[in-house]
Structure 1
């Protein structure tokens, strides 16, 4: 594969995984020549990338838009989905899934999920099971009612509750880490001794 000269991206970080996977895995050819293609994110959006060489710079900013490496500036084409699957299938399949975050909310002063959060448990479990080897971070939080040390303990209790919930549903605990932030790192900043439902939560990051 020829080197990609002056490859410059204007993307959010989460898009780089898909883009770099395709660039590194480029073995396909357009008229017998190597090319770069900008693949869309899972929600259909893209970032923006430039490919520069002796003949100028070409910007790619549309889904599945490509350019031959070394082509004149502005010379672009659209790669059919069938060609992407055929030529870049292994690279795209190897692209890691983006991290996802879930929030479970709790009743005040208790290690008990709210009714709404309890109803969301099945969908969270389904999302985790779709990942072949998920790494899960669980962080317990509280509002500012009560003493700081009591809230640290309450945060631990909430985090452990979620970890046990996952374990009882056969989510591997060897890939789960838990911690408590207590009343620190509030989702909604409040004064001390403020009852704020959105701060009584557990944050779950799944990678």
Structure 2
């Protein structure tokens, strides 16, 4: 069986569970959080089926084409596995004034949201990456971006963030969100990215 999509690992685990529990194994394609759906190719000893619509399923042996599966049946067959899925990563962008190392007032408000997300996870892994725009010297921008990331990490810890792992990095002006020529002020590039996994 070949599986492609965000829920590939979950689909395979659920199919194995069903084989042991009911004697009839099938794969069902679920939609992603953004509403899109991937694609599952089921290759079994009785044929190959392609599932490309969320809410449709096909037997693992490839013996029948995809057919709709009711939400109730999906919940019954896969509910426990779906509840066991880890939370999806979340990303936050905090912005800074030119040359400054303090978040803008609007971005400072985001700190409490970040802490709430981190503290809801049993073993959160948090990365804090600082960035700058292209104004000024690249080496100075590298230091400024690290200072921004360190300040955000310190603020998060001071406010009670309980992360299992915390990494702080600087990308300086090397990883622009908005592509600009050198020596260009771009507020959206003066940022710290906080990723929570």
| Alignment TM-score, normalising by the size of structure 2 | 0.85
2:155 pairs with 1:165: yes
**By how many angstroms is 1:191 displaced?**
2.7
Query: What corresponds to 2:122 in structure 1?
Result: 132
> Which of 55, 62, 77 is the equivalent residue of 2:53?
62
In structure 2, list runs of 5 or more residues that go unmatched. Answer: none
**By how many angstroms is 1:174 displaced?**
4.7
Cα distance in 2, alignment partners of residues 177 and 142 from structure 1: 18
> Which of 26, 30, 42 is the equivalent residue of 1:51?
42
Query: What corresponds to 1:16 in structure 2?
Result: 8
Query: What corresponds to 1:26 in structure 2?
Result: 18
| Structure 2 counterpart SS, 1:50 | strand
C-alpha RMSD of the superposition: 2.3
In structure 1, list runs of 5 or more residues that go unmatched. Answer: 1-6
**By how many angstroms is 1:78 displaced?**
3.1
**Which ranges of 4 or more aligned residues in structure 1 deviate by more than 6 Å?**
none
- The alignment covers a number of residue pairs equal to 196
Cα distance in 2, alignment partners of residues 152 and 19 from structure 1: 43
| Structure 1 counterpart SS, 2:192 | strand
**By how many angstroms is 1:136 displaced?**
0.5
